[in-house]
Amino acid sequence: MDPFTIGVILPGIPVQRRDGLDLPAAARHAEQAGLDGVWHGDHLAVGAPTLDAPVALATAAAATGRVTIGTSVLVPALRPLAWAAKQIATLQHVSGGRLVLGVGSGGGPAQWAAAGVPYAERGARTDTALTLLPSLLSGKRTPLPDGSAAELSLSVPMPPLFVGNASPAALRRAARLGDGWFPSLISPRAVADGRARLNDLAAGHGRPAPVIAIGCSAALGPGAPSRAELAAGIASAYDRPVADVMDIPLTGTPEQAAERLAAYREAGASHAVVGVSGDDWRTQVDFLAQARALLF
């Protein structure tokens, strides 16, 4: 049977406060429950309290010894490229090589304005970052787009690079530059269709097909938010019709979640990164770990 890993998004500040749970305790709980990774998003000026992703993940790395430490997703184009490379290299070092670098170019215009980066340049800056990061992380002196050059004092192995988003541009970017394609909140059918396109694109570049990781939302067990509630939240947050996302959330029992994750595995995914909702983050992680056990 093909391997299938499951990681969880670490709790945000409101959930930490609600559950009396700090990041080290959350990361340790996920590891001890049997999950494969802990992940954190990257947000700037979004109008809600959020932690800096590299700092949060360094904290999680220090509290664990086995799980993947993943960015879901880092937006390197918001940063000067040499600085982004230094943050990534530091995370790779302090985690003992456990980093998986999910990368995207998302966020609304306000986030890019807060960083002083033109919104229209996000795609080109992301391509540049993905192209130059391997050289920067290797410690080589690397020419930068502005005509300068940078050489990091810290040399580390390049972490696996997962390109976020389900857009055609993200598929092309993953096929050309990534080790993985990392779409979120899509159906198994969409994964299968994307896999076929991804394989063709990668072959055109003479590269092996990237792996597929899916981002998904879950609320498991009795008393958890319903599928309709989760779907309404997804539709509102991403400006999508409710009918298009109704079947995406993982709900019900761990057995039902395992069946749904198995459908993604059949469609070609080998990793899932799950954001959980419910009254207690630890309990949701335990249910998710039960679902993982049922997949093997």
pLDDT tens across 151-175, in order?
Answer: 999 999 999 999 999 999 999 999 9
pLDDT given at position 95:
98
Split into its structural domains, the chain has a count of 1
Find the domain containing 219 and state its range: 5-294
Average pLDDT over all residues of the chain? 96
| pLDDT above 70 coverage of the chain, percent | 99
Taking the whole predicted model, whether its pTM rises above 0.75 is answered as yes
* Rounded Cα distance, 105 and 202, in Å: 20
Measured over the CA atoms of residue 180, residue 50, residue 244 and residue 230, the dihedral's sign is positive
Specify the CATH number for the domain of residue 19.
3.20.20.30
The gap between the terminal CA atoms of the chain, to the nearest Å, is 8
For the chain, counts of helices (H) and of strands (E): 12, 11
pLDDT given at position 81:
96
* Rounded Cα distance, 87 and 81, in Å: 10
pLDDT given at position 1:
56
* Helix/strand/coil percentages in the chain, nearest 5: 50, 20, 35
pLDDT, one tens digit per residue, over 128-150 is: 999 999 999 999 999 999 999 99
Q: pLDDT category, 88, cuts 50, 70, 90?
A: very high
Tokens of 212: 């597929």
Q: pLDDT category, 107, cuts 50, 70, 90?
A: confident
Instruction: Give how far the C-alpha of residue 83 lies from the chain's centroid of Cα atoms, to the nearest Å.
Output: 20
Amino acid at 165: N
Contacts of residue 157, Cβ cutoff 8 Å, sequence gap at least 6:
92, 97, 137
pLDDT given at position 45:
76
